[in-house]
Amino acid sequence: MSAEVLIRPARNLRGSLCLPGDKSISHRYAMLAGIANGVSRLENFATGADCNSTLECMRQLGCEVTRTADAKTGVVAVELEGSGLRLKAADGKLDCGNSGSTMRMLSGILAGQEFASELVGDASLSRRPMARIIRPLRDMGAAVGANNDLPPLRIRGGRLKGIDYRLPVASAQVKTCLMLAGLFAEGSTVIEEPVRTRDHGELALRSFGAEVDELASNRWRVRGGQTLRPIHAVVPGDISTAAFFLCAAALFPEANLVLDNLLLNPTRAAVLDVLRSLGLKISVLQVEQRHGELTGVIQVRSGPLRGATIAGALSAALIDELPVLAAIAPYTAEGIEIRDARELRVKESDRIAAVAANLRAMGAEVEEREDGLRVPGGQHLHGAELPSFDDHRIAMAFAVAALRAQGESVIKDADAARISFPEFYTTLERLVER
Ligand code: S3P
Q: How confident is the model at residue 111 (pLDDT cuts 50, 70, 90)?
A: very high
Q: How many residues does the chain have?
A: 434
Q: Which residues pair with 335 in a beta bridge?
A: 307
24 CA closest ligand 1 atom index = 11
Alpha carbon of residue 144 to chain centroid: 25
Residue ending a domain, among 195, 218, 233, is 233
55 and 75 in a common domain:
yes
Q: How confident is the model at residue 150 (pLDDT cuts 50, 70, 90)?
A: very high
Q: Is the CB of 101 under 6 A from ligand 1?
A: yes
Higher-confidence residue of 255 and 158: namely: 255
pLDDT of the residue at 25: 99
Tell whether the model's pLDDT for residue 1 goes beyond 70: no
Ligand 1 geometric centre to CA of 197 (Å): 9
Give the residue, out of 319, 321, 393, 421, with the most ligand 1 atoms within 8 A of its beta carbon, to mutate for a pocket test: 319
Q: Is the CB of 44 under 6 A from ligand 1?
A: no
pLDDT of the residue at 158: 87
CA-CA-CA-CA torsion sign (194, 391, 349, 119): positive
pLDDT of the residue at 237: 98
Q: Is the CB of 319 under 6 A from ligand 1?
A: yes
262 and 205 in a common domain:
no
DSSP string covering 264-333 = --TTTTHHHHHHHHHT-EEEEEEEEEETTEEEEEEEEE-----EEEE-THHHHHTTTTHHHHHHHGGGSS
Render pLDDT for 372-409 as a digit per residue (tens, 0 to 9).
Answer: 999 999 999 999 999 999 999 999 999 999 999 999 99
Q: How confident is the model at residue 130 (pLDDT cuts 50, 70, 90)?
A: very high
DSSP string covering 42-95 = EEEE--SHHHHHHHHHHHHTT-EEEEEE-TTT--EEEEEEEESS--PPPSS-EE
pLDDT of the residue at 255: 98
Render pLDDT for 258-275 as a digit per residue (tens, 0 to 9).
Answer: 999 999 999 999 999 999
Q: How confident is the model at residue 2 (pLDDT cuts 50, 70, 90)?
A: low
Give the mean pLDDT of 10-26.
98
Distance (Å) of CA 95 to CA 27, 343, 354:
15, 24, 26
CB-based contacts of 66: which residues, under 8 Å, 6+ apart?
Answer: 78, 79, 80
Ligand 1 geometric centre to CA of 65 (Å): 24
66 and 179 in a common domain:
yes
35 and 73 in a common domain:
yes
41 and 13 in a common domain:
no
Q: Indicate which residue's Cα is closest to atom 10 of ligand 1.
A: 320
| Cis amide prior to 330 (ω within 30 degrees) | no
Number of domains composing the chain: 2
Measured distance CA(337)–CA(354) in Å, rounded: 16
β-sheet with 143-147: strand ranges across? 94-95, 116-120, 150-156, 143-147
Q: Which amino acid is at 5?
A: V
Residue ending a domain, among 233, 253, 286, is 233
28 CA closest ligand 1 atom index = 11
Phi, psi angle pair for 300, to nearest 5°: -120, 130
pLDDT of the residue at 413: 98
Q: Which domain holds residue 401?
A: 4-20+236-433
Q: How high does pLDDT run on average in the chain?
A: 97
State which H helix or E strand residue 165 sits in: strand 164-166
Could you confirm whether 320 is annotated as catalytic? yes
283 and 259 in a common domain:
yes
363 and 267 in a common domain:
yes
Residue ending a domain, among 210, 233, 256, is 233
Render pLDDT for 38-83 as a digit per residue (tens, 0 to 9).
Answer: 999 999 999 999 999 999 999 999 999 999 999 999 999 999 999 8
Give the residue, out of 23, 101, 267, 342, with the most ligand 1 atoms within 8 A of its beta carbon, to mutate for a pocket test: 101
Q: Which residues pair with 16 in a beta bridge?
A: 258
Q: What is the pTM of this model?
A: 0.98
338 and 196 in a common domain:
no
262 and 164 in a common domain:
no
Tell whether the model's pLDDT for residue 339 goes beyond 90: yes
pLDDT of the residue at 313: 96
Distance (Å) of CA 238 to CA 59, 213, 356, 366, 421:
24, 26, 26, 29, 9
Q: Indicate which residue's Cα is closest to atom 4 of ligand 1.
A: 320
> Which residue in 320, 390, 391, 415 is the catalytic one?
320
Q: Residue 378 sits in a domain of what CATH number? A: 3.65.10.10
425 and 369 in a common domain:
yes
pLDDT of the residue at 379: 98
94 and 8 in a common domain:
no
Secondary structure (3-state) at 129: coil
166 and 111 in a common domain:
yes
Give the mean pLDDT of 85-112.
98
Q: Minimal CA–CA distance to 100: which of 116, 115, 120, 85? A: 120
